[in-house]
Structure 1
């Protein structure tokens, strides 16, 4: 089997077989405080109430990802402990990541920074708070999709948290994930969002690997572009005159009733029940063989 190019992500779809037991999605949503039918306002109020119950000695990371209109992606996080912000970092990924990937990498980077910080010895739990629901669900679960390496690294880090250096009276604790409503005027999440936008707008120190999701988007875009270019070369002149293209997949005409749509198709293709019309009006020069 040929070696994988160095700039491609490592994806192993067989790492977790479908028949292996997994945490039910409903259980995962309950574990991270997912919306589960609540409005954004209710979820925001619930999160802020929950945030007040976190012991001040615990470390809380708010992380986020962002993608600019030109395709550049970035991530960022802030670290809080004892109600004070100790760390703030922005990460740049340029054009090789989707928001999903940036969110996952920012969460991992925040957790790595937290476990390496000296005050981790005072904390029982490490809380990772982010507003991407799918990433929040997957951070502590087996993953076989985009950013698989990142999720695996996070799971490894979570297993190492109880083994960190800590004070004798500090419990081993664990890494906990909490979903936070985005753009709900939660100051810490807004601050993390700002760091992510700053990261997306900055230049990375070194070339970044493209993620599976990013490559998939690129391949889809390229295939659509190639199909459109080929269509422009081979489309009948009548189609070109009517500006009929291969995109979008479901043009607005498909919303019409069958009778009107049939007439449009007949007019565009030149194939239809025209003989009766021409014979009725005695069009002797009409071409009736369709």
Structure 2
């Protein structure tokens, strides 16, 4: 006897489960049911396996069968069905193991061996007949009427909590981010920024341009740095985005193409842009030969 099981989750967040029970190569029973919006695919796969083994044990033809094969295409669930597990849908896994242990005690003919419950992983979307039937059943279950009071699973709560934290951080960032960061479309992320992989001296230049706190004319004048050098070799005042407009640098190596309104936020506000800007600054030696902290004669 074989029972193919599957879980599904639709784009609208509704989850469902289904199974197809086979014996001697023939479809004996098929079922599907909704789990509502508070379960993940992992939970739906486990629920489907539990429903499938229940149906198999209760089937009259179980007395003819030796082994019960539970076939599913979720490897993580398959490896945990008969093993101790603490995590999402823990109660479902424990109930499955309890039912699996009762399979040898089922009502059967004297010539039928006890057998056991066995787990089999099958590749998904490989046109395995039983698996395809279970897949369609799970999708029908997800599209059906959800339960009145669906219970949250641990996996669902974890996902929702993570989404809520991320959303809250984004709202806080939009309200508290410096205007210079907002102008560059820089967003917050719970992950370590990729820009931190850049050499420290390059990262310092990019952070200075983002914040406006650096070797810039307005910054020096704001804090009355009387000995500061305010001008680039091209004659323009130093500014956070002067690198983009400097005619000396453009003659040496063309800057990244594109309109300033799009290219500057890309170069200063994204990891990919920061990497391109770092390469361009190194090739032009912009801060070493062109936009110096001191005049050339003074440096000499």
What TM-score comes out, normalization by structure 2 length?
0.70
1:189 aligns with 2:131: yes
Name structure 2 gaps, 5 residues minimum: 221-227, 240-292, 294-300
Tell me which structure has the larger Cα radius of gyration. 2
Instruction: Tell me which stretches of 4 or more aligned residues in structure 1 moved more than 6 Å.
Output: 282-286
Which residue matches 2:263?
A: none
Is the Cα–Cα contact under 8 Å of residues 4 and 131 in structure 2 kept in the other structure?
yes
CA contact (8 A) 2:232 2:238 kept: no
Superposition deviation, residue 190 in structure 1: 1.2
Q: Deviation string for 1:113-143 (max 9, x for gaps)?
A: 1101111111111100000000000000000
Partner of 1:52: none
**CA deviation map 1:59-98 (0-9, x unaligned):** 1000011111111111110000011101111121111111
Change (3 A) 1:120 1:223: same
Q: Distance in 2 between matches of 1:210 and 1:105?
A: 13
Match of 1:126 in 2: 68
Residue 73 of structure 1: aligned partner = 15
**How far off its partner does 1:283 sit?**
8.2
2:145 maps to 1:200: no
1:106 aligns with 2:58: no
Q: Which has the higher helix share?
A: 2
2:170 to 211, 228, 231: 228
The answer to whether the aligner puts 1:162 opposite 2:114 as a matched pair is no
Q: Helix, strand or coil for the counterpart of 2:230? A: helix
Instruction: Give the number of the structure with larger relative contact order, counting CA–CA contacts within 8 Å between residues 6 or more apart.
Output: 1
The answer to whether the 8 A contact 2:5-2:45 is kept is yes
Query: How much does 1:241 deviate?
Result: 1.7
| Equivalent-residue separation in structure 2 for 1:208 and 1:66 (angstroms) | 16
C-alpha RMSD of matched pairs (Å): 2.5
Work out whether residues 19 and 30 of structure 2, in 8 Å CA contact, stay in contact via their aligned partners in 1.
Answer: yes
* TM-score, with length taken from structure 1: 0.72
Map of 2:212 onto structure 1: 270
Q: How many residues align?
A: 229
